[in-house]
């Protein structure tokens, strides 16, 4: 990721303060410290709760967060933090039960039915939340319903997580601390309501019109949109937006797509190129112009630097070409002549999306194009097979210039390319990735 050291440091300190904040605040309260392992168990619970609160901020599509991390890293971070929160929250009762079995009464419905029910429920909800995220496809949950389940379970866990220390009342006692913890819970839920309700509410005044559908090679189609009654928005090449193709923004259907058009055509017109992979994308390829759409964005940090001294190596596969196509078109519109290398992997020559236009762009750009085909035609003289370290060692530019490396394609290809680039001593900060399969 590309962000200055100071920003990274500020984020790290902020995260640390966030993770430890509620626990330190609680310790300021009237509660007296108890034996070490009890305090350890309680502390684990507080830190787990803080990490849970943080998740609402990370996933709320806030520009400052997305810009600093980039979507890909942010979602990886969200997943890892979720797993850490799970371990801490589960360790919280286990440590307490092992230290003093009397704590088991928290799960005894004869002592307090509601408390036992909510604590057992929250444990089940936490496990279900993590399991449905890690094995969504195995559970046969489609993405839209998964988001509903994920948001609902997270809200329930947060609610119980806030009520529990207040109800225990040892550390979180007195109007100030109770008020503060309640405010933290309300704040996190407000972030969720903002993302899922208030933003769509605002978007309803800014509809877009689908004005053209162009069929492309490789079972893809380009959908062209124009703002309907507003000025639209600008984006950076390489960014993406969430597309809702419906008369209302209040729908579960919302899919991320990279802009494939030149950033200089915005704000009046923008394009997405969609490959039919599942229910929505297969349907979207075949729709007729005239439909209403809603766009939330732009998002993403998969963006070339403004400095034309920095060259770009684009390592893409299949429909992963879309964000880089936006970069190429934008560079051409801007007369930007920085050195560009496009290493473009596909199964067959016929399925190479934008093949002809990329050829044409070579005339106006300093662009080298290397097609890598898995199943090349008989008379093929170009590269064949998969993109791997040997191929990159031969094809990466070896001049003294600084290059950013943009990686976007099928997951196995991205894993292999990222690993190969690092092995070839490309600095991590010069590798930018955009993964299309988020969960
Ligand atoms: C940043 C980004 C940019 C993308 N750009 C493009 C692009 O330019 N062209 C293109 O063809 N595809 C792009 N995709 C992928 C595209 O979003 C998915 O292929 C599409 O959402 C699949 O939905 P489906 O119902 O057709 O398929 P499904 O079979 O339901 O889903 C296939 C996979 O797509 C992902 N997915 C499904 N729905 C969503 C959703 N609402 N939000 C997030 N992920 C989802 C999931 O990982 C799922 O496993 C991009 C994805 C991301 C994250």
Residue with CA nearest ligand 1 atom 24: 278
Q: 138 and 122: one domain?
A: yes
Which residues, 6 or more positions from 386, have their beta carbon under 8 angstroms from its beta carbon? Answer: 345, 372, 374, 413, 416
Q: Give the number of the atom of ligand 1 that is nearest the alpha carbon of residue 136.
A: 49
pLDDT averaged over every residue in the chain: 91
Q: How close is the Cα of 283 to the center of ligand 1, in Å? A: 13
**Has residue 397 been placed in a domain?**
yes
Question: Rounded distance, CA 421 to CA 439, Å?
Answer: 24
Terminal alpha carbon distance of the chain? 20
Q: How many CB atoms lie within 10 A of CB 187?
A: 12
Question: In this structure, what DSSP letter does residue 215 have?
Answer: E
> 405 with 331, same domain?
yes
Tell me, yes or no, whether 184 and 251 share the same domain: no
Residue 306 belongs to some domain of the structure: no
Using CB distances shorter than 6 Å, the residues near ligand 1 are 71, 142-143, 240, 254-258, 272-275, 277-281, 319, 322, 434, 436-439
Task: DSSP for 293-336, please give it.
Answer: EEEEEEE-S----S-TTSEEEEEEEGGGGHHHHHHHHHHHHHT-
Rg (CA), the chain: 25
Residue 274 Cα to ligand 1 midpoint, Å, equals 9
**Number of domains into which the chain is organized:** 3
Answer with the one of 169, 202, 235 that is the final residue of a domain: 202
Specify the residue with its C-alpha closest to ligand 1, atom 50. Answer: 436
Both 317 and 356 in a single domain?
yes
Which of 71, 132, 240, 277 has most ligand 1 atoms within 8 Å of its beta carbon, as the pocket-test mutant?
277
Q: Which long-range contacts (CB under 8 A, 24 or more apart) does 188-195 make?
A: 188/52, 188/53, 188/56, 188/57, 188/158, 189/56, 189/155, 189/158, 189/159, 191/56, 191/57, 191/60, 192/56, 192/60, 192/151, 192/154, 192/155, 194/60, 195/59, 195/60, 195/61
Assigned domain for 240 exists = yes
> At 262, which CATH number?
2.40.30.10
CA 284 to each of CA 227, 287, 297: distance values in angstroms, whole numbers, following the listed order = 18, 5, 19
For 11, the enclosing helix (H) or strand (E) is helix 5-27
From 345, 312, 319, 282, select the one nearest 436 (Cα to Cα): 319
* Domain end point (choices 299, 325, 354): 299
Residue nearest ligand 1's atom 13 by CA: 257
What's the pLDDT at 273?
Answer: 97
Residue 142 lies in a domain: yes
Ligand 1, atom 47: nearest CA belongs to which residue? 437
- Of 202, 225, 252, the position where a domain reaches its end is 202
Please check whether residue 223 lies inside any domain of the structure: yes
Q: Is residue 102 exposed (0-12), middle (13-18) or buried (19+ Cβ within 10 Å)?
A: exposed
**Ligand 1 centre and the CA of 216: distance in Å?**
18
162 and 92 together in one domain: yes
For residue 4, the tally of other CB atoms under 10 A from its CB is 9
CA of 291 to the centre of ligand 1 (A): 20
197 shares a domain with 222: no
> 213 with 194, same domain?
no
Own/partner contacts of 89-92, CB < 8 Å, gap of 24 or more, are 89/44, 89/45, 89/48, 89/49, 89/52, 89/126, 89/161, 90/123, 90/126, 91/41, 91/44, 91/48, 92/41, 92/42, 92/44, 92/45, 92/48
Q: Which atom of ligand 1 is nearest to the CA of 253?
A: 41
Q: What is the pLDDT of residues 6-36, one digit of tens each?
A: 777 888 888 888 889 888 888 887 788 889 9
The answer to the question of residue 367 being in a domain is yes
Q: Do 142 and 44 reside in the same domain of the chain?
A: yes
Cβ neighbours for 417, distance < 8 A, ≥ 6 positions apart: 315, 387, 392, 407, 409
- Distance, CA 221 to ligand 1 centroid (Å)? 14
For residue 281, what are the domain limits?
Answer: 208-299
DSSP secondary structure letters along 25-94: HHHTSSPPP--HHHHHHHHHHHHHHHHHHHHHHHTS--HHHHHHH-HHHHHHHHHHHHHHHHHHHHHHHH
- Between CA 340 and CA 295 the distance in angstroms is 30
Q: How far is the CA of 276 from the centre of ligand 1 (A)?
A: 10
399 belongs to a structural domain: yes
If asked whether residues 390 and 260 sit together in one domain, one would say no
The answer to whether position 438 is within a domain reads: no
Q: Are residues 181 and 99 in the same domain?
A: yes
Shared domain check, 160 and 35: yes
Q: 182 and 247: one domain?
A: no
Whether omega for the bond prior to residue 163 falls within 30 degrees of 0, making it cis, is no
Ligand 1 centroid from CA 287, angstroms: 17
Q: Could you read off the pLDDT tens digit of each residue along the chain, which spans 439 residues?
A: 455 677 778 888 888 888 898 888 888 877 888 899 999 999 999 999 999 999 988 888 776 666 666 666 777 888 899 999 999 999 999 999 999 999 999 999 999 999 999 999 999 999 999 999 989 888 888 888 898 899 999 999 999 999 999 999 988 888 888 999 999 999 998 998 898 889 899 999 999 999 999 999 999 999 999 999 999 999 999 999 999 998 898 888 889 999 999 999 978 899 999 998 888 889 998 899 999 999 998 988 899 998 999 999 999 999 999 999 999 999 999 999 999 999 999 999 999 999 999 999 999 999 999 999 999 999 999 999 999 999 999 999 998 899 999 999 999 999 999 999 999 999 998 999 999 876 5
205-256 pLDDT, tens digit per residue, is 999 999 999 999 999 999 999 999 999 999 999 999 999 998 898 888 889 9
């Amino acid at each position: 990721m590309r962000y200055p050291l100071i920003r990274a440091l500020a984020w790290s300190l902020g995260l640390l303060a966030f993770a430890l904040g509620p626990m330190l605040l609680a310790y300021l309260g009237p509660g007296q410290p108890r034996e070490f392992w009890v305090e350890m168990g309680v502390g684990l619970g507080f830190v787990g709760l803080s990490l849970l609160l943080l998740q609402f901020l990370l996933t709320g599509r806030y520009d400052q967060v997305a810009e600093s991390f980039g979507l890909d890293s942010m979602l990886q971070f969200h997943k890892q933090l979720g797993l850490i929160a799970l371990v801490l929250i589960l360790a919280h009762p286990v440590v307490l039960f092992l230290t003093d079995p009397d704590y088991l009464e928290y799960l005894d419905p004869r002592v307090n039915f509601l408390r036992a029910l909510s604590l057992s429920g929250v444990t089940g909800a936490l496990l279900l939340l993590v399991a449905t995220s890690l094995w969504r496809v195995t559970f046969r949950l489609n993405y839209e319903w998964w988001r509903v389940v994920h948001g609902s379970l997270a809200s329930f866990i947060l609610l119980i997580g806030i009520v529990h220390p207040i109800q225990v009342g040892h550390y979180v006692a007195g109007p100030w601390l109770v008020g503060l913890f309640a405010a933290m819970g309300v704040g996190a839920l407000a972030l969720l309501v903002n993302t899922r309700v208030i933003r769509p509410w605002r978007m309803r005044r800014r509809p877009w019109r689908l004005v053209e559908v162009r069929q492309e090679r490789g079972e893809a189609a380009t959908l062209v949109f124009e703002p309907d009654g507003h000025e639209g928005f600008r984006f950076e090449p390489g960014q993406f937006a969430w597309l809702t193709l419906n008369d209302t923004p209040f729908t579960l259907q919302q899919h991320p797509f990279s802009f494939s058009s030149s950033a200089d055509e915005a704000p009046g017109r923008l394009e997405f190129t969609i490959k039919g992979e599942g229910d929505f994308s297969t349907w979207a390829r075949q729709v007729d112009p005239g439909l209403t759409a809603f766009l939330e964005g732009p998002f993403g940090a998969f963006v070339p630097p403004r400095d034309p001294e920095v060259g770009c190596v684009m390592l893409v596969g299949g429909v992963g070409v879309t964000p880089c196509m936006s970069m190429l078109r934008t560079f051409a519109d801007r007369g930007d002549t920085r050195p560009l290398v496009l290493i473009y992997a596909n199964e067959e020559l016929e399925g190479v999306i934008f093949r002809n236009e990329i050829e044409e762009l070579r005339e106006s750009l300093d662009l080298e194009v290397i097609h890598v085909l898995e199943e090349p035609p008989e008379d093929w003289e170009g590269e064949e097979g998969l993109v791997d370290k040997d191929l990159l060692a031969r094809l990466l530019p070896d001049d003294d210039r600084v290059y950013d490396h943009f990686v976007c394609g099928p997951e196995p290809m991205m894993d292999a390319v990222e690993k190969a680039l690092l092995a070839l001593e490309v600095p991590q900060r010069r590798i930018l990735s955009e993964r299309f399969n988020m969960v």
